[in-house]
Structure 1
Amino acid sequence: MRALVLREHGDNDKLQFVPDYPTPKAAEGDVVVRVKASSINYHDVFTRRGMPGIKVPLPVIIGLDVVGEIAEIGAGVTGWKVGDRVLIDPVNRVEGGLMGETQDGGLAEYCRAKAHQLVRIPDNVGFEQAAALPVAYGTAIRMMNTIGKIKPGEKVLILGASGGVGVCCVQLAKLAGAYVIACAGSEEKGRRLKELGADEIILYTQTDFMKAVFERHGKPHRRRFVEGGGVDVVVNFTGGDTWVKSLRCLKLGGRLLTCGATAGFSPTEDLRFIWTFELQVLGSNGWEREDIEKLFDLVQAGKLQVLIDKSYPLEQAKEAVRVIEDRAVFGKVVVTP
């Protein structure tokens, strides 16, 4: 089969398109899926580079998000048949492991997974739409709804708003009735975020987002029971030099939500703002199976748009990884074999 294979960690040139990689076979409890679409996440970039403390068995086919049709069913598998349209939950919640990291993922013509990882794709949801959901949208819905508990009328500042997680966060915050302030790197991305529902745009390439919050919404102060400046919630999954500025944007009792650190996991910290303003720093890790099912419901109801910016054939999958690494996208990037 055709596949994009990682044999050693490093830059994007370490990814190799292989036209004759071994096709997986279904063992007991397995299914083999004929891949129809796989979306790229920043986690795939981290896997390619190599992550401290995480041992990735090489060679490996990257790609966490995988959807397609069942092509083969192993012994002991019930409830499924060849041809069923399925999404593979990237997390193996029984034996452990992650698609595209500890086992071969979706950037190939075929992909093997455990039957218990399968989620049925509704008939009116397309393969590319479904492929965009698990990691990015699943992470967003858990962070915003389950962990963050966004409320009507709250001011929510979203950093990285134009990426896969970000565009979902913008929509979920609006669905919750919040006032959404989205950070974007260009006027074009800002325009598209406004179309998606953002109430306000901060172009971080032109102005410091913290100063923009202070100017537009006031600087937070410590007086209780007095209306103060700042925002109720900051969504920050970039880390790096945005971390302390995010804390400083929060009003008394504000919440900082995080699910990653694409710009650096060891930022400068300033604990004074956390205790002085009684802030809550809330981490959110991944998604649950029911989150994927909730996303399908929202997509079917027309309440949630799946934003797909670019689609690449498998032969150009390495380019798909590059544009994610360079943040040259709005929403999701999908690869179709």
Structure 2
Amino acid sequence: MRAVVFDHHGPIENLVMRDLPIPEIGPDQCLIKVRAVSLNGFDPMVLRGIPGLKTPLPMIPGADIMGVIEKIGADVPEERFSIGQRVGIDPSTETGMMGETRRGGMCEYLAVEERFLVPIPDGVTDHQAACLPTAYATAHRMLFTRGQLQAGEKVLILGASGGVGTSCIQLAVSAGAEVVAVSSSAAKLAALKDLGAQHVIDGSQEDFVDAVWRIYGKPRTRGGEGGVDVCVNYSGGDSWAKSFRTVCKGGRILTCGATGGYDPKTDIRYIWSFEHKILGCNGWERVDHLQILQMIADGRFSPVIDRVVDMGDIQEAMRDLAERRVTGKVVLEVGP
């Protein structure tokens, strides 16, 4: 079978196509013929090597996967799954995250334990299903389970053109929140407006703190209604301490990652004086994945797909993702 593999951490050129044996399945597994895989922001990071994360080599990338069941193990209940059924995969397993510490799905066939398979309902396309669950299900849990987002609240989303960012915009808008999205180019900002963001900020031209103060006024510890109720910051780095200055008294800062750096400076004064709540979100639960699938099936929204390319074009796709030339998700077609 065709597979994308890297043998060593390093540059994008380390990603190569290779022919590997089709995996054998155990009694509790199904053989999945993979149709599509989408990229995530952590894929270039895993390729380069993440301090403290032990990635077994050689590694096959790819966490968001959809495919069709080709074989069923002897212990898999017949009433749950059938040959030819379309399924997604929950990549967060007891033995690690697929594409990080367990081989991912950027290959033609995959052996997966039955408990990690998620049926794809009618009304959800292959490409839409391949965008889940990492970005959309995580955004769902971060905004609603952890962040308790309510209709009418004001939400600032940093790094809004990525997979999690576009997910947050769509979900927040669907919940009746007012969204302020930050990105770095006119084309991306236009796309974010089309998704429903009421305000957009070009972070390359204006400091996002100044922009929030311009739109809503400066947050104050006594009186006034300045700032946003919620700031979504999964960038960390230089934006972390600054984001405290955008949030109203009693507001929330939500995070599910640190693409810009995991050990930023902070300013504790804002945490106590504005009584901020800092809430982390470590991925998603199965219920989030199922809810997102049903929302797509019901036509309530559709994942943002930047482009669909062949798996053989992985280097170009990964480079565009790493260099922030992507809005939403890049989907790789693995098979017909």
Letter in 1 for 2:252: R
CA–CA distance in structure 2, aligned partners of residues 168 and 306 of structure 1:
7
Q: Which one is further off, 240-249 or 213-222?
A: 213-222
Is 1:174 the counterpart of 2:162? The answer is no
Report the counterpart of residue 315 of structure 1 in structure 2: 312
CA–CA distance in structure 2, aligned partners of residues 101 and 212 of structure 1:
37
Q: Which one is further off, 185-194 or 238-247?
A: 185-194
TM-score, length-scaled by structure 2: 0.96
Match of 1:285 among 274, 277, 282: 282
| Deviation, structure 1 residue 155 | 1.0
Contact 1:234-1:256 within 8 A present in 2 as well: yes
Letter in 2 for 1:231: V
| Deviation, structure 1 residue 28 | 2.1
Residue deviations 1:144-189 (CA, integer Å, cap 9, x gap): 1111111121111111111111111011111221111111211111
- Match of 2:23, SS? coil
Report the counterpart of residue 239 of structure 1 in structure 2: 236
Contact 1:162-1:330 within 8 A present in 2 as well: yes
CA–CA distance in structure 2, aligned partners of residues 222 and 17 of structure 1:
56
Report the counterpart of residue 150 of structure 1 in structure 2: 149
Match of 1:305 among 302, 306, 319: 302
CA–CA distance in structure 1, aligned partners of residues 318 and 28 of structure 2:
31
- Cα RMSD (Å) of the superposition? 1.1
Letter in 2 for 1:220: P
Letter in 2 for 1:324: L
Counterparts of 1:186-201 in structure 2, within 5 Å, are 186-201=185-200
Contact 2:122-2:297 within 8 A present in 1 as well: no
CA–CA distance in structure 2, aligned partners of residues 6 and 32 of structure 1:
23
| Deviation, structure 1 residue 43 | 1.7
Is 1:141 the counterpart of 2:167? The answer is no
Report the counterpart of residue 270 of structure 2 in structure 1: 273
Contact 1:4-1:318 within 8 A present in 2 as well: no
Is 1:5 the counterpart of 2:2? The answer is no
Residue deviations 1:56-90 (CA, integer Å, cap 9, x gap): 11112110111100112223112322211000111
CA–CA distance in structure 2, aligned partners of residues 47 and 75 of structure 1:
35
Structure 2: runs of 5+ lacking an equivalent: none
| Deviation, structure 1 residue 227 | 2.4
CA–CA distance in structure 1, aligned partners of residues 333 and 104 of structure 2:
13
| Deviation, structure 1 residue 96 | 2.8
| Deviation, structure 1 residue 216 | 2.0
Report the counterpart of residue 113 of structure 2 in structure 1: 114
Counterparts of 1:1-337 in structure 2, within 5 Å, are 1-18=1-18, 20-78=19-77, 79-92=80-93, 95-223=94-222, 226-337=223-334
CA–CA distance in structure 2, aligned partners of residues 101 and 27 of structure 1:
22
| Deviation, structure 1 residue 7 | 0.8
Contact 1:320-1:333 within 8 A present in 2 as well: yes
Q: Which one is further off, 116-125 or 297-306?
A: 297-306
Contact 1:107-1:317 within 8 A present in 2 as well: no
Give the paired residue count: 332
TM-score, length-scaled by structure 1: 0.96
